Chains A and B, each alone.
Chain A
């Protein structure tokens, strides 16, 4: 009964659309002016008009039937008893992280994986690390930061300058670069303590630009637009990667045939270790009072204040921790490239990292990793499409956000539980108002 009514409704709707098409099409499609001996004559084109009206009718009918079937499916789903126990998605979800981790550890040794793939893996891991770093600020503390690339830049230039002026090795400069970035995180944090939401976003955006413009114009220190080159490459804990293969080199020490691949693989494992460190610290912090305070701030700042949480220290630790990992990633970027310039730290980078966090699902470590892989990997996969690449890419992003408005992994894992841990649906979790 309901089906017949639905069909009837769809036919009526399609008929109406066809009528409109007829009305609009009759003068536009049904008549054509043609130049004749004396002025113009009107030539009727009933065939074309009929075809257009038929196409509109058929299209509208199919669309109506599709909508009706979806509504019916939704109604059936609503009638069905609620599913007890973990959903199949959750089971698959638990498998994804270990599989991805194993894959990333074994990647350089998988047959068929060459220099290009390892380089791509290194790039993806850099963005995973940046995503995880920003996730602390945006996903956990709910502070919208549009200038995250500034900390990446501070880390990169921090290492480059330390190496140039103080002759520090990568391993000595790495923690210092992280500390510099954390200090800048606090410097940014102070003026924006009172700002929320859109206002916070604008100020962080400006901060990112200020750092870039300073790097661009402080020519005596940073080389300005020419950038800084000759940044020391990383060593294997003191053993350089050299093609000479002498006594004091990596290849010589381990008795290997010197190969340029050694450094590539070493860089890959270096960023993997740094990214896993970021992940580990974040996971631990979520179970620590500091991490819980971040999430409490995102959920309700007023309530957090009433419980005696100092908003100043909660926000500053979030900015500083997020910035520190950005700084580590920056130092890695500098040593990998051997050359840095302000061009690598534009707003587009901030936007890309934020897109990774949002697409992955704010606060979700796994989601960010998957989103970074999809986005950075996607850039490469679609390289063959040339100028259509960004179009396809943009459409894919829109599609994902329509399909999953709160990101790929939108549920939240509780940090502590009395019984079995149950994840919390996105509908309860606040997005944060800065």
Chain B
């Protein structure tokens, strides 16, 4: 079996005295959809922020291995190289689009690094001709492909901020895919979606898993509260509580795990009463 796309080892993140993530280790297999679940405040988004360079971890290592064998130690990379070279893209829990730019422009910004590599530095590009213009046309085609996949083609020339909520979520995913990632990190993509939109999202994620940016597939790491989404599409689930991993396995196993049921789905009512009674010296 090939090396996992993502290997996290003993990852710790402390904010002063607060330990948000405590020696967390897990792997995300290539081509799979891995979900991270856990109660509010379990440290899921902190893990994402460490992965994507918004936080510098206090300890541990994060290794990304590409299909060609190239390895990246994310905790040492400058942030812009995490997206550019390690090819990790992310979305945000509270949607972050370039609201005053059009849907198409959002997708063009996502291809910034590719376009700069491919001749945008030439003075000719500034004047509006030369080989760069073909690259730009290709970038527009790539954007159009993801607009079609996310059902946004008709809104391509509208301001991103003017889209309805569900469409903004899809646009954020399309924008992340335009960076041509190897690993796509989604922070609660189904939050605020109605059941039909949620179903469409599942289909979109399966497509991304199989097709990826270039037809070779893409691994997905997912934070999600909506259990219907998690159970339906995940290949592998990691459960966090208070910054530690409490379970790790296939969806069916997680569903049955008593520790998960206690931590995430809440302890049984009788049990809770018993704990309460014990605490009050009964």
Residues of A at under 8 Å CB distance from B? 281, 284-285, 287-290, 292-293, 295-296, 298-300, 302-311, 412, 414-422, 424-425, 428-430
Contacts and interface: CB of A to CB of B under 8 A. Distances in A.
Given A308-B84, A424-B102, A424-B159, A285 B120 contact: no
B105 A303 contact: no
Nearest to A307: B110
A309 B92 contact: no
Contacts of B89: 306-307
Contact of B80 (A288, A290, A308, A418): A308
Interface of B: 52-54, 78-84, 89-90, 92, 96-102, 104-105, 108-113, 115-116, 120, 125-128, 140, 144, 153, 156-162, 175-176, 179
Contacts, number: 132
Contact of B101 (A285, A296, A311, A425): A296
7 contacts: A284-B128, A288-B125, A289-B116, A303-B96, A307-B110, A308-B82, A429-B99
The listed residue with most B CB atoms (<10 A of its CB), out of A296, A302, A421, is A296
B104 A417 contact: yes
Nearest to B153: A418
Given A289-B120, A418-B144, A303 B97 contact: yes
A421 B157 contact: yes
B159 A299 contact: no
Nearest to B103: A418
A289 B115 contact: yes
Contacts of A425: 159
Given A284-B128, A414-B104, A428-B100, 17 more contacts: A292-B109, A292-B112, A295-B98, A296-B109, A299-B101, A303-B92, A306-B54, A307-B83, A307-B109, A308-B80, A308-B83, A309-B113, A311-B80, A414-B105, A416-B104, A417-B102, A419-B156
A87 B80 CA distance: 42
Contacts of B115: 289
Nearest to B162: A428
A308 B99 contact: no
A284 B159 contact: no
Nearest to A295: B101
Contacts of A419: 156-157
B90 A306 contact: yes
A273 B101 CA distance: 30
A290 B120 CA distance: 9
